[in-house]
Amino acid sequence: MPETVTRAAATAPQRSRRPVQVYAVAAVSALGGLLFGYDTGIISGALLYLRQDLHLSSQQQEIVVGVILVGAMIGALVSGRLAGRHGRRRIVFWVAIVFAAGALGAAAAPDTGTLVAARLVLGLAVGGASNMVPVYIAEVAPPAIRGRLMVLFQLMVAIGQLIAYLCGWLLAGSGGWRVMFGLAVVPAAVLAFGMTRLPESPRWLVEQGRPDAAGAVLRRLRPPEADIAAEIAGIREVSVSAPRQDSRALLQPWLRPALVVALGVAAFSQLTGINAIVYYAPTILSDAGFGESVALVTGIGIGAMLVVAGITGAIAVDAIGRRRTMLWFLPLSGLAMAVLGLAFLMHDSSAQHWIVIVALFAYILCNGIGMQSVVWLIAPEILPLGVRGPATSLATVTVWGFDLLIAATALTAIDLVGRSGTFFLYAALNAVCVVFVLLKVPETRNRPLEDIERALRAPGSLRRNLAEPR
C-alpha cells in the first residue's frame, strides 16, 4: 500500500505546485556538486602558475593535486557518521562552510604547506558533498523523479568542472590562481544560505522517532492529494527493522548484495578511466605532439562533453532505467577507448589527431552517460535506511580511493606500457564493468526506497527480486 500511494504522489498532475519544492531542494543542495566539480577541476589550470609562484618541485605538485582526494576520503567517512547523528541537512550546511574556509585558505596561501593544508580542507568538503548530497536528495524526492534529481548532482559536478576550465583560461597568468581558488566562496555561501531554508530528510526524522515532523516535511514536498500517513507508515515499517548505523551492521549477510553493487559501481566509475582523461588529457596530448593550444581547447571540450553527458544521463536514468543506461553506453565507452588506443599506434598526421580527439570526446560522452550519471545515484538508492549513512560513506570512499589510484598511476602506466597499452587496459576494464552490471546490478527505476529494501531482505537474488512485477 505505501508504495502504491508514493507512486501516485510522484505522478500527480502537473497543476499541483507542491512538487516544485522538491526541485528547489535538489537545485540548492546540488550546488554541492558544482563546488565538488569546481574544486577538483580548478587545479589543472591553477597548477601552471602556482608552481612558478611557489617554486614547487614535481613531487610537491603531485602532493598539491592529490591531497584533495585524501581529504575527500576522510570527509566521506566522517560525514556519513555525523549525518546519522545530526541529520542530512545540517551536515550539508557545514560542508558548505568548510568549502568556503578551504577556498579562502587556498587563495591566501603564502607557502606550499598552507596550500596543501587548505587543499586538504577542501577535500573534506568534497568528500562530504559527494557523500551526503545524493543521500539527502534521494530521501526527499518522489520515486518517479528521484533519478533525474539525483543525477542533477553529477550534472552540477560537470558544470563545475567546465567553469573551472574556463576560469583557468580566463585567469591565466601569475597570481591568477588565487582568484581561481577564491571564486569558490560564492557558490559555497549560496549553498550554506539555501540549506538554512530547506527541510530535514523525512526518512531521517522517522528514524529519530519524529513522525510528526516528517509528516510536516512531506506535506511541503508532496502534492495535496498524497497520502502522507501511508508514506510515513511505509518509512516507519522499514525503519523499525533496520539495524543500528554503525560499521558492525555492514557485516550482516543480507546487506552483502547491496554492498557488492554499490562498491562495485563505485570502483568501476574510476577503473573505466574517466579521471585519467579528465586530469591528464592536456598533458597526454601535449606529450604526443599536439600543440598547447589544442590541448587547452581539448580540456574545455572535455568539460563541455561532461555537461552534455550529465544532461543526457539525467534524462536516461528515468526514461530507460539505471541498468539499461549502463548496458547501452558502457560498451560504447569501451569501444571509444579502444579506438583511442589504436589511434596512438598510427603515424603522426592530421587524420590521426582528429581520430584521437573524436575518440576522446566520444569516450567522455558515453562514459559520462553510462557510468558517471549512475555512480552517485545507485548507492543511496540501493543501500537500506538503517546503514545508509556509513554504507554510502564506504561507497564514496571507494570512489575517491580508486580515483586516487588512477591519478597516481595513469602517467606511470603510460611510461611503462605506452599510451596505446594504457588505453587498451582501460577499454578492457570497461568490458569487465559491463559483465558486472549484467550479473549484479538491479533496476531501481520508479521504485520507492522502502520497496528496494524489502527486495534486499527477501530471499533470492536482489536483481531478480526487483525485476519481478509489483
Please state, as a whole number, how many other Cβ atoms lie within 10 Å of the Cβ of residue 328: 15
From residue 136, how far is each of 104, 125, 195 by CA, in Å?
Answer: 26, 15, 11
Could you give the CA distance from residue 118 to residue 305 in angstroms, rounded to a whole number? 30
Residues 308-332: pLDDT tens digits?
998 898 889 888 999 999 999 999 9
Average pLDDT over residues 433-459: 88
Average pLDDT over residues 113-132: 89
Pseudo-torsion of CA 257, 258, 261, 264, nearest 10°? Answer: -90
Q: Which are the contacts of 276, defined by CB distance < 8 A and separation ≥ 6?
A: 406, 407, 410, 422, 426
pLDDT number for residue 10: 41
Could you give the CA distance from residue 141 to residue 22 in angstroms, rounded to a whole number? 6
Mean pLDDT score of the chain, rounded to an integer?
82
Cα angle for residues 216, 219, 225 (degrees, 5° grid)? 145
Q: Check: CB of residue 381 under 8 Å from CB of residue 261.
A: no
pLDDT-derived band at 247 (thresholds 50, 70, 90) equals: low
pLDDT-derived band at 469 (thresholds 50, 70, 90) equals: low
For the chain, domain boundaries: 2-467
Confidence check: pLDDT of 172 > 90: no
Average pLDDT over residues 385-390: 75
Q: From the CA atom positions of the chain, what is the Rg in Å? A: 22
Listing DSSP states for 253-301 in one string gives: GGGHHHHHHHHHHHHHHHHTSHHHHHHHHHHHHHHTT--HHHHHHHHHH
Listing DSSP states for 20-70 in one string gives: HHHHHHHHHHTHHHHHHHHHHHHHHHHHHHHHHHTT--HHHHHHHHHHHHH
Residues 92-120: pLDDT tens digits?
899 999 999 999 999 999 888 999 999 99
Residue 110: all three cell numbers together: 603564502
pLDDT number for residue 30: 72
Q: Check: CB of residue 333 under 8 Å from CB of residue 367.
A: yes
Identify the CATH homologous superfamily for domain 2-467: MFS general substrate transporter like domains (1.20.1250.20)
Pseudo-torsion of CA 325, 330, 336, 342, nearest 10°? Answer: -170
Could you give the CA distance from residue 380 to residue 382 in angstroms, rounded to a whole number? 6
Could you give the CA distance from residue 397 to residue 247 in angstroms, rounded to a whole number? 14
pLDDT number for residue 332: 97
Burial class (CB in 10 A: 0-12, 13-18, 19+), 331: middle
Could you give the CA distance from residue 259 to residue 250 in angstroms, rounded to a whole number? 8
Could you give the CA distance from residue 368 to residue 328 in angstroms, rounded to a whole number? 12
